[in-house]
């Protein structure tokens, strides 16, 4: 395992080729773990953070099956490089504001990563395209076992794995599905569907995770409780609610197609018009307009070859990705212009 300065690829979870990917963009599972012998990050000293970081990376080196993993220490990265990792969902935005040794250990395809010294000592994450909770859980379970042999996890028989925030303790598990639900919004059924989800113990968040607003018709559905049932039961319950939501979205798409195809086509073509002619573009505006194109592709009203393009664009037009592409820091206006330029070129040539 070696330390990385920067390695820039499109993460696999945004490839757009998993099961049910017409509605479920990606599945993500995370486990929260802490080392018993150190205080949680909110109270730990810089020395303790260094110890935790070193112990976790050392534990990875002990496991031969994880030899090809790389690690990033945020103290060695500049601000844009750190934001780049956050845009790839390898680290959280919260990690950027913490002091001391912290970072992430991940595999080359960016499917598995372990974030170190954020809210908890470890946040293990598995993420991939489409609906695939079982595969991801199997991978994560293995990593958890391997690290658990090397490290001394904070664990009690009664309350399970102990975490910095009691909302995560027990299994430390959260499964979340990133879903694209434009038809439920257009048919005004979204509130009803999400209310039903919340009654089944499933919470809804926006595209950028906790406390984020709804943009681009993207929603993240995830389990609320983490204690009192097995990991498989939490996965199954959340999946059941997610599949119900998928069904509702597909029905809503059929209804729009039979009742309002002309209006939908108009919306899609207008979105395409703005995307290909705008001089300046915000991230939110891009996400909202590209949501219309995505819906168009799924309803066979728009060129399907643009689907993988949209996925690539969605990550490419984020601020740190744009600045890395241009190899310089850009202010807000310059970012909007660079974003509109990139989108235009993409639609013209299929490349940046």
Segment lying near other proteins (by CB under 8 A), choices 99-107, 182-190, 229-237, 289-297: 229-237
Long-range contacts of 322-328 (CB under 8 A, 24+ apart): 323/80, 324/6, 324/8, 324/80, 324/81, 324/84, 325/352
Q: Does 82 bind other proteins (CB under 8 A)?
A: no
- What is the CB neighbour count within 10 angstroms for residue 224? 13
Least distance to other proteins from the beta carbon of 194, Å? 20
Q: How far is the C-alpha of 41 from the C-alpha of 314, rounded, in Å? A: 32
- What's the Rg (C-alpha) of the chain? 21
Least distance to other proteins from the beta carbon of 195, Å? 19
Q: Contacting other proteins (CB under 8 A), which of 14, 84, 161, 302?
A: 161
| Nearer CB in complex with other proteins: 37/270 | 37
Q: Contacting other proteins (CB under 8 A), which of 19, 228, 304, 350?
A: 228
Q: Does 162 bind other proteins (CB under 8 A)?
A: yes
| Nearer CB in complex with other proteins: 143/246 | 143
Q: Does 62 bind other proteins (CB under 8 A)?
A: no
Q: Does 214 bind other proteins (CB under 8 A)?
A: no
Contact in structure between 106 and 90 (CB atoms under 8 Å): yes
Contact in structure between 222 and 238 (CB atoms under 8 Å): yes
- State both tokens at 201: 């113990």
Q: How far is the C-alpha of 210 from the C-alpha of 94, rounded, in Å? A: 11
Q: Contacting other proteins (CB under 8 A), which of 117, 125, 129, 169?
A: 169
| Nearer CB in complex with other proteins: 145/332 | 145
Sheet-wide strand order for 112-116:
2-3, 70-73, 103-106, 112-116, 122-129, 24-33, 173-180, 218-223, 202-205
Least distance to other proteins from the beta carbon of 119, Å? 7
Q: Does 141 bind other proteins (CB under 8 A)?
A: yes
Contact in structure between 276 and 347 (CB atoms under 8 Å): yes
Residue numbers at the binding site for other proteins (CB under 8 A): 34, 36-40, 42-43, 119, 141, 144, 148-150, 152-162, 164-167, 169-171, 173, 224-231, 233
């Amino acid at each position: 395992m070696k330390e990385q300065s920067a390695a820039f690829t499109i993460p696999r979870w945004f490839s757009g080729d998993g099961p049910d990917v017409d509605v479920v963009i990606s599945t993500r599972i995370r486990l929260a773990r802490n080392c018993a012998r150190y205080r949680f990050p909110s109270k730990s000293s810089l020395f303790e953070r260094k110890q935790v970081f070193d112990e976790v990376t050392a534990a990875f080196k002990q496991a031969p099956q994880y030899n090809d993993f790389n690690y990033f220490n945020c103290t060695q990265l500049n601000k844009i490089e750190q934001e780049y990792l956050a845009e790839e969902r390898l680290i959280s935005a919260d990690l950027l504001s913490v002091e001391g040794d912290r970072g992430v250990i991940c595999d080359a395809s960016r499917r598995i990563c372990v974030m170190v010294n954020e809210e908890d000592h470890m946040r293990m994450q598995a993420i991939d395209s489409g609906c695939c909770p079982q595969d991801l859980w199997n991978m994560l379970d293995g990593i958890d076992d391997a690290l658990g042999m090397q490290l001394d996890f904070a664990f009690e028989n009664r309350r399970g794995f102990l975490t910095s925030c009691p909302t995560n303790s027990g299994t430390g598990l959260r499964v979340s599905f990133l879903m694209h639900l434009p038809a439920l919004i257009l048919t005004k059924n979204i509130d009803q569907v999400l209310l039903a989800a919340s009654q089944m113990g499933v919470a809804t968040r926006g595209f950028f995770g906790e406390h984020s607003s709804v943009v681009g018709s993207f929603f993240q559905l995830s389990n609320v409780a983490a204690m009192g049932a097995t990991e498989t039961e939490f996965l199954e319950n959340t999946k059941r609610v997610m599949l119900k939501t998928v069904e509702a979205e597909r029905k809503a798409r059929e209804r729009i197609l039979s009742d309002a195809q002309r209006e939908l086509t108009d919306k899609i073509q207008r979105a395409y018009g703005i995307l290909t002619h705008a001089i300046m573009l915000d991230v939110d505006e891009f996400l909202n307009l590209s949501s219309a194109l995505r819906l168009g592709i799924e309803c066979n009203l728009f060129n399907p070859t643009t689907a993988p393009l949209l996925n690539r664009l969605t990550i490419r037009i984020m601020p740190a990705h744009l600045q890395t592409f241009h190899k310089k820091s850009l202010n807000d206006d310059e970012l909007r212009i660079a974003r509109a330029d990139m989108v235009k070129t993409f639609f013209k040539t299929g490349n940046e």
